[in-house]
Chains A and B, each alone.
Chain A
Protein backbone atom coordinates (compact mmCIF):
# COMPACT_ATOMS: atom_id res chain seq x y z
CA UNK A 1 0.00 0.00 0.00
CA UNK A 2 2.80 2.41 0.87
CA UNK A 3 4.41 1.80 -2.53
CA UNK A 4 1.15 2.54 -4.29
CA UNK A 5 0.65 5.74 -2.31
CA UNK A 6 4.21 6.90 -3.05
CA UNK A 7 3.63 6.29 -6.75
CA UNK A 8 0.24 7.99 -6.71
CA UNK A 9 1.86 11.03 -5.12
CA UNK A 10 4.03 11.18 -8.23
CA UNK A 11 0.88 11.09 -10.41
CA UNK A 12 1.23 7.55 -11.59
CA UNK A 13 -1.71 5.27 -12.25
CA UNK A 14 -1.42 2.28 -9.99
CA UNK A 15 -3.19 -1.07 -9.82
CA UNK A 16 -2.85 -3.04 -6.59
CA UNK A 17 -3.55 -6.74 -6.97
CA UNK A 18 -4.30 -8.32 -3.58
CA UNK A 19 -5.20 -11.97 -3.45
CA UNK A 20 -7.01 -11.80 -0.12
CA UNK A 21 -10.50 -10.32 0.21
CA UNK A 22 -9.14 -7.22 1.89
CA UNK A 23 -5.94 -5.21 1.72
CA UNK A 24 -3.55 -5.21 4.65
CA UNK A 25 -1.97 -8.62 4.33
CA UNK A 26 -0.92 -10.33 7.51
CA UNK A 27 -1.62 -7.17 9.55
CA UNK A 28 -5.33 -7.96 9.53
CA UNK A 29 -4.83 -10.95 11.77
CA UNK A 30 -2.13 -9.40 13.98
CA UNK A 31 -4.53 -8.01 16.55
CA UNK A 32 -1.76 -7.34 19.07
CA UNK A 33 0.05 -4.08 19.73
CA UNK A 34 3.47 -3.01 18.66
CA UNK A 35 2.98 -1.57 15.19
CA UNK A 36 3.67 2.00 14.21
CA UNK A 37 5.93 3.09 17.08
CA UNK A 38 8.43 4.41 14.57
CA UNK A 39 6.25 5.34 11.62
CA UNK A 40 3.29 6.96 13.38
CA UNK A 41 4.97 7.56 16.76
CA UNK A 42 1.96 5.73 18.19
CA UNK A 43 1.49 2.18 19.24
CA UNK A 44 -1.14 0.50 17.12
CA UNK A 45 -2.48 -2.97 16.55
CA UNK A 46 -2.02 -4.56 13.13
CA UNK A 47 -5.56 -3.92 11.87
CA UNK A 48 -5.36 -0.27 12.95
CA UNK A 49 -2.08 0.16 11.11
CA UNK A 50 -3.57 -1.38 7.96
CA UNK A 51 -6.63 0.86 8.22
CA UNK A 52 -4.48 3.99 8.23
CA UNK A 53 -3.07 2.98 4.88
CA UNK A 54 -6.45 1.92 3.55
CA UNK A 55 -7.67 5.43 4.33
CA UNK A 56 -4.77 6.91 2.40
CA UNK A 57 -5.48 4.59 -0.52
CA UNK A 58 -9.02 5.89 -0.77
CA UNK A 59 -7.73 9.44 -0.76
CA UNK A 60 -5.86 8.62 -3.96
CA UNK A 61 -8.76 6.65 -5.41
CA UNK A 62 -8.40 8.50 -8.71
CA UNK A 63 -4.94 7.12 -9.24
CA UNK A 64 -4.99 3.84 -7.35
CA UNK A 65 -7.24 0.97 -8.40
CA UNK A 66 -7.46 -1.62 -5.67
CA UNK A 67 -8.32 -5.13 -6.85
CA UNK A 68 -8.96 -7.50 -3.98
CA UNK A 69 -9.74 -11.21 -4.30
CA UNK A 70 -7.38 -10.89 -7.25
CA UNK A 71 -4.39 -13.17 -7.61
CA UNK A 72 -1.51 -12.54 -9.99
CA UNK A 73 -0.92 -15.97 -11.39
CA UNK A 74 1.92 -15.26 -13.74
CA UNK A 75 4.26 -12.50 -14.80
CA UNK A 76 6.29 -12.83 -17.97
CA UNK A 77 9.31 -11.12 -19.48
CA UNK A 78 7.04 -8.90 -21.53
CA UNK A 79 5.73 -7.22 -18.39
CA UNK A 80 2.39 -8.96 -18.84
CA UNK A 81 0.68 -10.20 -15.70
CA UNK A 82 -2.20 -12.68 -15.61
CA UNK A 83 -4.74 -11.54 -13.02
CA UNK A 84 -7.36 -13.97 -11.77
CA UNK A 85 -10.40 -12.90 -9.79
CA UNK A 86 -14.04 -13.94 -9.47
CA UNK A 87 -14.94 -10.85 -11.47
CA UNK A 88 -12.63 -11.46 -14.38
CA UNK A 89 -9.51 -13.18 -15.67
CA UNK A 90 -7.37 -10.81 -17.67
CA UNK A 91 -3.91 -9.73 -18.67
CA UNK A 92 -2.44 -6.48 -17.53
CA UNK A 93 0.64 -4.94 -19.04
CA UNK A 94 2.65 -2.89 -16.61
CA UNK A 95 5.29 -0.25 -17.15
CA UNK A 96 6.80 -1.20 -13.84
CA UNK A 97 6.00 -3.77 -11.16
CA UNK A 98 6.44 -3.42 -7.41
CA UNK A 99 6.43 -6.88 -5.90
CA UNK A 100 5.47 -7.06 -2.23
CA UNK A 101 4.25 -10.60 -1.85
CA UNK A 102 5.69 -11.09 1.63
CA UNK A 103 6.71 -14.41 3.10
CA UNK A 104 5.23 -17.80 3.92
CA UNK A 105 5.78 -19.86 7.03
CA UNK A 106 8.10 -22.85 7.13
CA UNK A 107 5.76 -25.83 7.22
CA UNK A 108 5.93 -28.62 9.76
CA UNK A 109 6.79 -31.18 7.07
CA UNK A 110 10.06 -29.49 6.21
CA UNK A 111 11.38 -30.08 9.74
CA UNK A 112 11.43 -33.85 9.13
CA UNK A 113 10.26 -34.58 12.67
CA UNK A 114 9.70 -38.31 13.17
CA UNK A 115 6.41 -39.78 14.29
CA UNK A 116 2.80 -39.71 13.17
CA UNK A 117 1.03 -37.22 10.95
CA UNK A 118 -2.03 -36.29 13.02
CA UNK A 119 -4.31 -33.28 12.81
CA UNK A 120 -3.67 -30.53 15.36
CA UNK A 121 -0.35 -29.28 14.03
CA UNK A 122 -0.51 -25.67 12.88
CA UNK A 123 1.93 -23.01 11.89
CA UNK A 124 1.47 -19.89 13.99
CA UNK A 125 0.02 -17.82 11.15
CA UNK A 126 -2.66 -20.42 10.46
CA UNK A 127 -3.56 -20.65 14.15
CA UNK A 128 -3.69 -16.87 14.26
CA UNK A 129 -6.00 -16.64 11.28
CA UNK A 130 -8.28 -19.35 12.61
CA UNK A 131 -8.59 -17.70 16.02
CA UNK A 132 -8.63 -14.03 15.10
CA UNK A 133 -10.50 -13.98 11.80
CA UNK A 134 -12.43 -17.23 11.54
CA UNK A 135 -13.48 -17.36 15.20
CA UNK A 136 -12.25 -20.94 15.78
CA UNK A 137 -10.29 -22.35 18.69
CA UNK A 138 -7.41 -24.44 17.42
CA UNK A 139 -7.43 -26.94 20.29
CA UNK A 140 -7.58 -27.44 24.04
CA UNK A 141 -4.02 -27.94 25.21
CA UNK A 142 -1.06 -26.63 23.25
CA UNK A 143 2.70 -26.58 22.98
CA UNK A 144 4.35 -23.77 21.05
CA UNK A 145 7.57 -24.27 19.11
CA UNK A 146 9.68 -21.20 18.46
CA UNK A 147 10.10 -18.29 20.82
CA UNK A 148 10.18 -15.68 18.11
CA UNK A 149 7.72 -12.84 18.55
CA UNK A 150 4.90 -14.59 16.77
CA UNK A 151 5.32 -17.77 18.83
CA UNK A 152 5.18 -15.82 22.07
CA UNK A 153 2.27 -13.70 20.93
CA UNK A 154 0.29 -16.82 20.05
CA UNK A 155 1.15 -18.28 23.46
CA UNK A 156 -0.60 -15.30 25.03
CA UNK A 157 -3.48 -15.33 22.57
CA UNK A 158 -4.24 -18.99 23.17
CA UNK A 159 -4.01 -18.55 26.94
CA UNK A 160 -6.36 -15.56 26.97
CA UNK A 161 -8.93 -17.62 25.08
CA UNK A 162 -8.83 -20.49 27.53
CA UNK A 163 -6.48 -22.85 25.70
CA UNK A 164 -3.87 -24.26 28.06
CA UNK A 165 -0.36 -23.52 26.84
CA UNK A 166 2.03 -25.93 28.49
CA UNK A 167 5.20 -24.24 27.29
CA UNK A 168 7.24 -22.67 24.54
CA UNK A 169 10.13 -24.67 23.09
CA UNK A 170 13.15 -22.85 21.66
CA UNK A 171 16.25 -24.46 20.20
CA UNK A 172 18.46 -21.44 20.85
CA UNK A 173 19.88 -20.85 24.31
CA UNK A 174 18.07 -17.47 24.44
CA UNK A 175 14.58 -16.30 23.47
CA UNK A 176 14.11 -15.64 19.77
CA UNK A 177 11.96 -12.52 20.09
CA UNK A 178 11.80 -9.22 21.93
CA UNK A 179 12.30 -9.13 25.69
CA UNK A 180 9.05 -7.19 25.94
CA UNK A 181 7.17 -10.19 24.59
CA UNK A 182 8.99 -12.61 26.92
CA UNK A 183 7.58 -10.51 29.76
CA UNK A 184 4.10 -9.74 28.46
CA UNK A 185 3.38 -13.09 26.79
CA UNK A 186 5.23 -15.69 28.84
CA UNK A 187 6.19 -14.38 32.28
CA UNK A 188 2.82 -12.67 32.76
CA UNK A 189 1.03 -15.98 32.30
CA UNK A 190 3.62 -18.27 33.87
CA UNK A 191 4.19 -20.10 30.61
CA UNK A 192 7.50 -21.98 30.86
CA UNK A 193 10.14 -21.29 28.24
CA UNK A 194 12.27 -24.33 27.44
CA UNK A 195 15.49 -23.06 25.90
CA UNK A 196 17.99 -25.23 24.02
CA UNK A 197 15.19 -27.67 23.32
CA UNK A 198 13.56 -29.13 20.26
CA UNK A 199 10.71 -31.44 19.30
CA UNK A 200 11.98 -34.92 18.52
CA UNK A 201 8.75 -36.81 18.00
CA UNK A 202 5.02 -36.27 17.53
CA UNK A 203 2.46 -38.91 18.44
CA UNK A 204 -1.17 -39.37 17.58
CA UNK A 205 -2.89 -41.58 15.02
CA UNK A 206 -5.77 -39.20 14.35
CA UNK A 207 -5.47 -36.02 16.42
CA UNK A 208 -2.23 -35.08 18.12
CA UNK A 209 -1.81 -36.72 21.53
CA UNK A 210 1.75 -36.26 22.64
CA UNK A 211 4.89 -34.32 21.78
CA UNK A 212 8.36 -35.40 22.87
CA UNK A 213 10.90 -32.64 23.46
CA UNK A 214 14.63 -33.10 24.05
CA UNK A 215 17.48 -30.79 24.98
CA UNK A 216 19.97 -29.90 22.27
CA UNK A 217 23.68 -29.08 22.07
CA UNK A 218 25.28 -26.09 20.33
CA UNK A 219 24.75 -27.73 16.94
CA UNK A 220 21.06 -28.19 17.78
CA UNK A 221 21.48 -31.96 17.93
CA UNK A 222 19.22 -33.73 20.44
CA UNK A 223 21.00 -34.99 23.52
CA UNK A 224 20.05 -38.58 24.37
CA UNK A 225 18.11 -39.28 27.57
CA UNK A 226 16.84 -35.73 27.92
CA UNK A 227 13.38 -36.42 26.51
CA UNK A 228 10.32 -34.85 28.11
CA UNK A 229 6.76 -35.75 27.19
CA UNK A 230 3.99 -33.19 26.75
CA UNK A 231 0.47 -34.50 26.46
CA UNK A 232 -1.07 -31.90 24.19
CA UNK A 233 -3.59 -31.97 21.36
CA UNK A 234 -2.22 -28.92 19.60
CA UNK A 235 1.22 -27.96 18.32
CA UNK A 236 1.78 -24.42 17.10
CA UNK A 237 4.97 -23.88 15.14
CA UNK A 238 6.76 -20.64 14.55
CA UNK A 239 9.98 -21.88 13.02
CA UNK A 240 10.84 -19.45 10.28
CA UNK A 241 9.57 -17.31 7.44
CA UNK A 242 10.53 -17.87 3.82
CA UNK A 243 10.38 -15.01 1.29
CA UNK A 244 7.79 -15.77 -1.40
CA UNK A 245 9.76 -15.36 -4.63
CA UNK A 246 8.56 -18.19 -6.83
CA UNK A 247 6.39 -16.08 -9.11
CA UNK A 248 9.45 -14.12 -10.23
CA UNK A 249 11.43 -17.26 -11.08
CA UNK A 250 13.79 -16.52 -13.93
CA UNK A 251 12.96 -12.82 -13.85
CA UNK A 252 15.07 -11.64 -10.92
CA UNK A 253 18.13 -12.73 -8.96
CA UNK A 254 17.89 -13.80 -5.35
CA UNK A 255 20.27 -13.19 -2.48
CA UNK A 256 21.80 -16.39 -1.11
CA UNK A 257 21.68 -15.30 2.52
CA UNK A 258 18.23 -13.77 2.75
CA UNK A 259 16.80 -16.15 0.12
CA UNK A 260 14.80 -13.16 -0.95
CA UNK A 261 14.83 -10.89 -4.00
CA UNK A 262 18.19 -9.12 -4.29
CA UNK A 263 17.62 -5.36 -4.39
CA UNK A 264 19.43 -2.09 -4.54
CA UNK A 265 18.74 0.74 -2.08
CA UNK A 266 16.31 2.05 -4.67
CA UNK A 267 14.20 -1.06 -4.23
CA UNK A 268 15.08 -2.11 -7.76
CA UNK A 269 15.79 -5.77 -8.44
CA UNK A 270 18.28 -7.17 -10.95
CA UNK A 271 15.53 -6.70 -13.57
CA UNK A 272 15.08 -2.98 -14.09
CA UNK A 273 11.27 -2.95 -14.32
CA UNK A 274 10.75 -5.02 -11.20
CA UNK A 275 11.03 -3.36 -7.79
CA UNK A 276 10.48 -5.20 -4.53
CA UNK A 277 9.97 -4.39 -0.88
CA UNK A 278 9.11 -6.10 2.35
CA UNK A 279 9.43 -9.67 3.51
CA UNK A 280 9.89 -10.97 -0.03
CA UNK A 281 13.33 -9.33 -0.02
CA UNK A 282 14.45 -10.13 3.53
CA UNK A 283 12.51 -10.97 6.67
CA UNK A 284 11.94 -7.75 8.60
CA UNK A 285 11.09 -7.30 12.27
CA UNK A 286 8.84 -4.27 12.11
CA UNK A 287 6.15 -3.24 9.72
CA UNK A 288 7.45 0.31 10.11
CA UNK A 289 10.62 -0.63 8.27
CA UNK A 290 8.68 -2.49 5.60
CA UNK A 291 6.49 0.55 5.09
CA UNK A 292 9.49 2.77 4.50
CA UNK A 293 10.98 0.30 2.05
CA UNK A 294 7.66 0.13 0.24
CA UNK A 295 7.59 3.89 -0.09
CA UNK A 296 11.10 3.86 -1.42
CA UNK A 297 10.30 1.19 -3.99
CA UNK A 298 7.17 3.06 -5.06
CA UNK A 299 9.07 6.28 -5.46
CA UNK A 300 11.91 4.90 -7.49
CA UNK A 301 9.52 2.78 -9.54
CA UNK A 302 7.72 6.01 -10.44
CA UNK A 303 10.95 7.68 -11.40
CA UNK A 304 11.73 4.70 -13.59
CA UNK A 305 8.40 5.05 -15.37
CA UNK A 306 9.18 8.72 -15.91
CA UNK A 307 12.36 7.81 -17.74
CA UNK A 308 15.06 7.74 -15.09
CA UNK A 309 17.43 4.81 -15.16
CA UNK A 310 19.46 3.51 -12.23
CA UNK A 311 22.26 1.05 -11.99
CA UNK A 312 22.06 -1.61 -9.34
CA UNK A 313 25.18 -0.23 -7.71
CA UNK A 314 27.98 -1.85 -5.76
CA UNK A 315 27.40 -5.05 -3.79
CA UNK A 316 26.81 -4.92 -0.05
CA UNK A 317 28.18 -8.02 1.62
CA UNK A 318 27.90 -9.34 5.17
CA UNK A 319 31.29 -9.49 6.89
CA UNK A 320 32.45 -10.41 10.36
CA UNK A 321 29.65 -11.43 12.74
CA UNK A 322 26.98 -10.32 10.28
CA UNK A 323 24.42 -12.92 9.19
CA UNK A 324 22.66 -10.94 6.48
CA UNK A 325 22.23 -7.44 5.16
CA UNK A 326 19.62 -5.56 3.18
CA UNK A 327 19.64 -4.00 0.63
CA UNK A 328 22.08 -6.08 -1.37
CA UNK A 329 23.41 -3.30 -3.58
CA UNK A 330 24.10 0.40 -3.11
CA UNK A 331 23.52 3.12 -5.63
CA UNK A 332 24.88 6.48 -4.42
CA UNK A 333 21.79 8.29 -5.66
CA UNK A 334 20.86 8.64 -1.98
CA UNK A 335 22.05 7.89 1.53
CA UNK A 336 21.87 4.28 2.60
CA UNK A 337 19.34 2.91 5.07
CA UNK A 338 20.99 -0.36 5.97
CA UNK A 339 19.32 -3.27 7.77
CA UNK A 340 21.35 -6.11 9.18
CA UNK A 341 21.26 -9.01 11.61
CA UNK A 342 24.17 -10.18 13.72
CA UNK A 343 25.24 -13.81 13.69
CA UNK A 344 25.32 -14.31 17.44
CA UNK A 345 24.40 -12.39 20.60
CA UNK A 346 26.97 -9.74 21.48
CA UNK A 347 27.06 -7.48 24.49
CA UNK A 348 28.92 -4.75 22.73
CA UNK A 349 30.04 -4.40 19.11
CA UNK A 350 31.11 -1.70 16.70
CA UNK A 351 29.31 -1.63 13.36
CA UNK A 352 31.72 -0.68 10.55
CA UNK A 353 30.39 0.13 7.09
CA UNK A 354 32.76 2.02 4.78
CA UNK A 355 33.67 5.19 6.66
CA UNK A 356 30.75 4.80 9.08
CA UNK A 357 31.05 3.46 12.61
CA UNK A 358 28.54 3.03 15.43
CA UNK A 359 28.63 1.13 18.70
CA UNK A 360 25.74 -1.08 19.75
CA UNK A 361 24.93 -2.97 22.93
CA UNK A 362 22.90 -6.07 23.68
CA UNK A 363 22.70 -7.34 20.12
CA UNK A 364 20.74 -10.50 19.28
CA UNK A 365 20.13 -11.99 15.82
CA UNK A 366 16.37 -11.70 16.08
CA UNK A 367 16.50 -7.92 16.52
CA UNK A 368 17.31 -6.15 13.27
CA UNK A 369 19.78 -3.29 13.37
CA UNK A 370 18.88 -0.27 11.26
CA UNK A 371 21.26 2.57 10.46
CA UNK A 372 21.14 5.50 8.11
CA UNK A 373 24.54 6.03 6.52
CA UNK A 374 25.26 9.28 4.67
CA UNK A 375 26.63 8.71 1.19
CA UNK A 376 29.81 10.58 1.92
CA UNK A 377 30.82 7.71 4.18
CA UNK A 378 30.43 5.29 1.28
CA UNK A 379 32.39 6.99 -1.47
CA UNK A 380 35.26 5.46 -3.40
CA UNK A 381 34.28 1.89 -2.72
CA UNK A 382 33.75 -0.94 -5.19
CA UNK A 383 32.01 -3.04 -2.60
CA UNK A 384 30.58 -2.40 0.86
CA UNK A 385 31.47 -4.85 3.57
CA UNK A 386 29.37 -4.72 6.72
CA UNK A 387 31.21 -5.81 9.87
CA UNK A 388 30.36 -6.05 13.53
CA UNK A 389 33.55 -6.05 15.54
CA UNK A 390 32.96 -7.45 18.99
CA UNK A 391 34.33 -5.33 21.85
Chain B
Protein backbone atom coordinates (compact mmCIF):
# COMPACT_ATOMS: atom_id res chain seq x y z
CA UNK B 1 0.00 0.00 0.00
CA UNK B 2 1.07 3.58 -0.68
CA UNK B 3 1.35 6.03 2.20
CA UNK B 4 0.71 9.71 2.61
CA UNK B 5 0.46 11.96 5.63
CA UNK B 6 -2.57 14.19 5.89
CA UNK B 7 -1.48 17.70 6.88
CA UNK B 8 -4.88 19.26 7.52
CA UNK B 9 -4.57 19.11 11.30
CA UNK B 10 -1.97 18.25 13.98
CA UNK B 11 -3.06 14.61 14.13
CA UNK B 12 -1.01 13.99 11.01
CA UNK B 13 -2.79 10.69 10.22
CA UNK B 14 -0.72 8.30 8.18
CA UNK B 15 -3.15 7.17 5.50
CA UNK B 16 -2.46 3.96 3.63
CA UNK B 17 -4.22 3.45 0.33
CA UNK B 18 -4.32 1.57 -2.94
CA UNK B 19 -5.20 3.38 -6.14
CA UNK B 20 -5.95 1.96 -9.57
CA UNK B 21 -6.02 4.34 -12.53
CA UNK B 22 -6.18 7.24 -10.09
CA UNK B 23 -9.22 5.80 -8.31
CA UNK B 24 -8.97 4.89 -4.64
CA UNK B 25 -9.79 1.25 -4.04
CA UNK B 26 -8.69 0.86 -0.42
CA UNK B 27 -8.07 3.36 2.39
CA UNK B 28 -7.15 3.05 6.03
CA UNK B 29 -5.66 5.24 8.74
CA UNK B 30 -7.64 8.46 8.43
CA UNK B 31 -9.29 9.40 11.67
CA UNK B 32 -11.88 11.70 10.06
CA UNK B 33 -13.55 12.18 6.65
CA UNK B 34 -11.34 15.24 5.86
CA UNK B 35 -8.46 12.80 5.44
CA UNK B 36 -10.27 11.00 2.67
CA UNK B 37 -10.94 14.20 0.74
CA UNK B 38 -7.31 15.23 1.30
CA UNK B 39 -6.22 11.94 -0.26
CA UNK B 40 -8.57 12.41 -3.20
CA UNK B 41 -7.20 15.89 -3.80
CA UNK B 42 -3.61 14.57 -3.52
CA UNK B 43 -4.25 12.05 -6.24
CA UNK B 44 -6.16 14.40 -8.52
CA UNK B 45 -4.23 17.64 -8.16
CA UNK B 46 -1.51 17.58 -5.52
CA UNK B 47 -1.11 20.99 -3.93
CA UNK B 48 1.66 22.42 -1.81
CA UNK B 49 2.36 25.47 0.26
CA UNK B 50 5.60 26.88 -1.12
CA UNK B 51 7.99 28.64 1.26
CA UNK B 52 10.66 30.75 -0.40
CA UNK B 53 12.32 34.17 -0.32
CA UNK B 54 11.87 37.48 -2.03
CA UNK B 55 14.42 40.20 -2.64
CA UNK B 56 14.17 43.23 -0.37
CA UNK B 57 15.40 46.66 -1.40
CA UNK B 58 16.73 49.09 1.23
CA UNK B 59 16.22 46.58 4.01
CA UNK B 60 18.47 45.56 6.89
CA UNK B 61 18.47 42.13 5.28
CA UNK B 62 18.64 41.24 1.60
CA UNK B 63 15.75 38.74 1.74
CA UNK B 64 12.33 38.37 3.27
CA UNK B 65 11.00 34.85 3.72
CA UNK B 66 7.55 34.37 2.19
CA UNK B 67 5.03 31.60 1.64
CA UNK B 68 1.92 30.99 -0.38
CA UNK B 69 -1.17 31.66 1.75
CA UNK B 70 -2.67 28.35 0.65
CA UNK B 71 -1.42 25.28 -1.17
CA UNK B 72 -0.97 25.76 -4.91
CA UNK B 73 -0.92 23.02 -7.56
CA UNK B 74 2.42 21.24 -7.51
CA UNK B 75 2.72 21.44 -11.30
CA UNK B 76 2.72 25.25 -11.12
CA UNK B 77 5.69 25.39 -8.75
CA UNK B 78 8.39 25.92 -11.42
CA UNK B 79 6.44 28.78 -12.99
CA UNK B 80 5.75 30.17 -9.53
CA UNK B 81 9.48 30.19 -8.72
CA UNK B 82 10.19 32.07 -11.96
CA UNK B 83 7.75 34.78 -10.92
CA UNK B 84 9.08 34.99 -7.38
CA UNK B 85 12.59 35.53 -8.68
CA UNK B 86 11.47 38.68 -10.53
CA UNK B 87 9.86 40.30 -7.51
CA UNK B 88 11.43 43.04 -5.42
CA UNK B 89 9.85 44.62 -2.41
CA UNK B 90 10.73 47.83 -0.68
CA UNK B 91 11.49 47.75 3.05
CA UNK B 92 9.95 47.97 5.63
CA UNK B 93 8.26 44.59 5.40
CA UNK B 94 5.89 43.22 8.02
CA UNK B 95 4.79 39.65 8.71
CA UNK B 96 1.62 39.12 6.76
CA UNK B 97 2.26 41.76 4.08
CA UNK B 98 0.81 40.59 0.78
CA UNK B 99 3.62 40.52 -1.75
CA UNK B 100 1.74 39.05 -4.69
CA UNK B 101 -2.00 38.72 -4.95
CA UNK B 102 -3.69 35.64 -6.42
CA UNK B 103 -0.50 34.27 -7.91
CA UNK B 104 -1.01 32.39 -11.19
CA UNK B 105 -4.74 32.59 -10.61
CA UNK B 106 -4.62 29.98 -7.88
CA UNK B 107 -6.45 32.07 -5.32
CA UNK B 108 -3.34 31.99 -3.18
CA UNK B 109 -1.40 35.13 -2.23
CA UNK B 110 2.29 35.29 -1.47
CA UNK B 111 2.68 36.69 2.04
CA UNK B 112 5.73 37.79 4.00
CA UNK B 113 6.62 35.57 6.94
CA UNK B 114 9.13 37.88 8.54
CA UNK B 115 9.67 41.56 9.12
CA UNK B 116 12.55 43.43 7.60
CA UNK B 117 13.31 46.94 8.82
CA UNK B 118 14.35 49.69 6.50
CA UNK B 119 18.01 50.70 6.72
CA UNK B 120 18.33 54.02 8.47
CA UNK B 121 20.23 55.76 5.70
CA UNK B 122 17.62 55.02 3.04
Contact = CB atoms under 8 A, between A and B. Distances in A.
Assess A/B contact in the complex (Cβ within 8 A).
yes
Contact of B115 (A38, A41, A44, A51): A51
Contacts of A135: 53, 55, 62-63
Interface in B25-83: 46, 48-53, 55, 61-63, 65, 67, 74, 77, 81
B1 to A, nearest CB: 13
A159 to B, nearest CB: 10
B10 A41 contact: yes
B7 A180 contact: yes
By secondary structure, the A interface counts as mixed
B90 to A, nearest CB: 16
Interface in A358-391: 362
B67 A33 contact: yes
Nearest to A288: B10
B27 to A, nearest CB: 16
A133 B53 CA distance: 9
Contacts of B77: 160
B14 interface: yes
A201 interface: no
B104 interface: no
A183 B49 CA distance: 13
A183 B5 contact: yes
B48 A51 contact: no
B53 A31 contact: yes
B101 interface: no
A133 B63 contact: yes
Given A48-B113, A135-B55, 5 more contacts: A37-B12, A51-B95, A51-B114, A132-B63, A183-B5
A362 B95 CA distance: 37
A132 B7 contact: no
Given A33-B49, A180-B12, A188 B67 contact: no
Contacts, number: 66
Given A132-B65, A184-B48, A188-B74, A45 B53 contact: no
Interface of A: 28, 31-33, 37-38, 41, 43-45, 47-48, 50-51, 132-135, 160-161, 178-180, 183-184, 188, 362
B113 A188 contact: no
Nearest to A21: B60
Interface of B: 3-5, 7, 9-10, 12, 14, 46, 48-53, 55, 61-63, 65, 67, 74, 77, 81, 95, 113-115
Contacts of A33: 49, 51, 67
B52 A160 contact: yes
A134 B81 CA distance: 19
Contacts of A178: 5, 12
A188 B48 contact: yes
A31 B111 CA distance: 12
Closest A-B pairs by Cβ, 9 of them:
A47-B114, A31-B65, A135-B62, A180-B5, A37-B10, A45-B113, A32-B51, A48-B113, A47-B113
A179 B5 contact: yes
B28 to A, nearest CB: 12
A47 B54 CA distance: 14
Contacts of A31: 51-53, 65, 67, 113-114
A47 B65 CA distance: 8
A34 B114 CA distance: 15
Contacts of B65: 31, 45, 47, 132
A387 B52 CA distance: 42
A284 to B, nearest CB: 16
A10 B46 CA distance: 47
A384 B75 CA distance: 51
A37 to B, nearest CB: 4
Contacts of A183: 4-5
Contacts of B74: 188
A165 to B, nearest CB: 15
Which residue of B14, B67, B81 has the most chain A CB atoms within 10 A of its CB atom?
A: B67
Given A33-B67, A51-B95, A180-B12, A132 B53 contact: yes
A47 B49 CA distance: 16
B62 A134 contact: yes
Which residue of B3, B62, B65 has the most chain A CB atoms within 10 A of its CB atom?
A: B65
Contacts of B10: 37-38, 41
A184 B49 CA distance: 10
22 contacts: A31-B65, A31-B67, A31-B114, A37-B9, A37-B10, A38-B10, A43-B7, A44-B113, A45-B51, A45-B65, A47-B113, A48-B114, A51-B95, A51-B114, A132-B63, A133-B61, A160-B77, A160-B81, A178-B12, A180-B5, A183-B4, A188-B46
